[in-house]
Amino acid sequence: MPPLKCVGTDFRLSPAQTSNNMTLKIQQIPVLQDNYIYLIHDTASTETVVVDPALAEPVLTCLNENGWQLSRILNTHHHADHTGGNLALKQTTGCQVIGSATDTARIPGIDIACGEGDNIKLGQHTIQILDCAGHTSGHIAFYIATANALFCGDTLFAMGCGRLFEGTAAQMWQALKKFTALPLQTQIYCAHEYTAANAQFALSVEPSNQDLLKTITHVEQLRAAQQATVPTTLAQELATNPFLRPNSPEIQTTLNMQGASELAIFTELRKRKNNF
Ligand code: ZN
Ligand code: FE
């Protein structure tokens, strides 16, 4: 296998963000079958963190290529495809591991336990912790307002959402509602490239959504060129992601659930997606 290269953010469903006082660089590393690891580097302080290192080796390669030093690992949840590189990275770089206080027993090498309302500093930037149980009971997300960036692990995907392994549909719905309260231009850095498969399910429940149809064409082009479709944006997801659209009349009609509650519709969508 050729060595993995880290890639910049100059394609995707949303254009790379720019801001005058933006000192953060985000590198996306595709690993395993469909996982993404994210390195976040602050050029002002020269600090670097990594979100969900499934593997250590590609992270070390990316750090070397950029001349960066790793200070922290941020884990969204305990699954091995998000924490598999923790111990090797900690040993090699001396970095600290940050994860959910609910999951101290399951996150390898955890040093700092955190939860809703906690903040982590990255230079001048603040990384806010959002609790988003559902996929797992201790799932958290990392939000950087100054970068318009949300690292949401396996909670929200482009046109999809995470499976409910440990939490309830009500918990997941609450987590998604928390995300939808963020600014529309928020870039959503999902942990998996599931977009093409998610799109087919989305189409099955809302076949005449024009934004969805346009997006699917774009996604097909990106995937044919072996490019990532992630990050996406909140605005994009509100327009195309069935799990964020329980008020869509077409979705309600497809499910034969006109007028049902948002949670009831979300629950039914999640159930159908499991068997899709
Ligand atoms: Zn997971
Ligand atoms: Fe995962």
Under 8 Å between Cβ of 164 and 172: yes
pLDDT of residue 22: 73
| Alpha-carbon gap, residue 239 to 194, rounded angstroms | 17
| Alpha-carbon gap, residue 237 to 189, rounded angstroms | 12
What is the distance in A from the centroid of ligand 1 to the CA of 17?
Answer: 27
What does pTM read for this prediction?
A: 0.93
Ligand nearest to the CA of 134: 1
Under 8 Å between Cβ of 10 and 228: no
Ligand nearest to the CA of 81: 2
Residues identified as active-site: 77, 79, 81-82, 135, 154, 192
Q: What is the DSSP letter of 16?
A: P
What is the distance in A from the centroid of ligand 2 to the CA of 79?
Answer: 6
What is the distance in A from the centroid of ligand 1 to the CA of 19?
Answer: 31
Averaged pLDDT, groups of 10, the chain, 276 residues long: 42 49 88 97 96 98 97 98 98 98 98 97 96 98 96 98 98 98 97 98 98 97 96 97 98 98 98 97
> In the chain, what are the helix, strand and coil shares in percent, each to the nearest 5?
35, 25, 40
What is the distance in A from the centroid of ligand 2 to the CA of 74?
Answer: 14
SS3 38: strand
Ligand nearest to the CA of 191: 2
**Closest among 31, 28, 32, 94 to 66, alpha carbons compared:** 28
- List CB-based neighbours of ion ligand 1 within 5 Å: 79, 154
| Class of domain 7-274 (CATH, top level) | alpha beta
21 CB neighbour count, 10 Å cutoff: 8
What is the distance in A from the centroid of ligand 2 to the CA of 136?
Answer: 10
125's enclosing H/E stretch is strand 125-131
What is the distance in A from the centroid of ligand 2 to the CA of 250?
Answer: 30
Ligand nearest to the CA of 167: 1
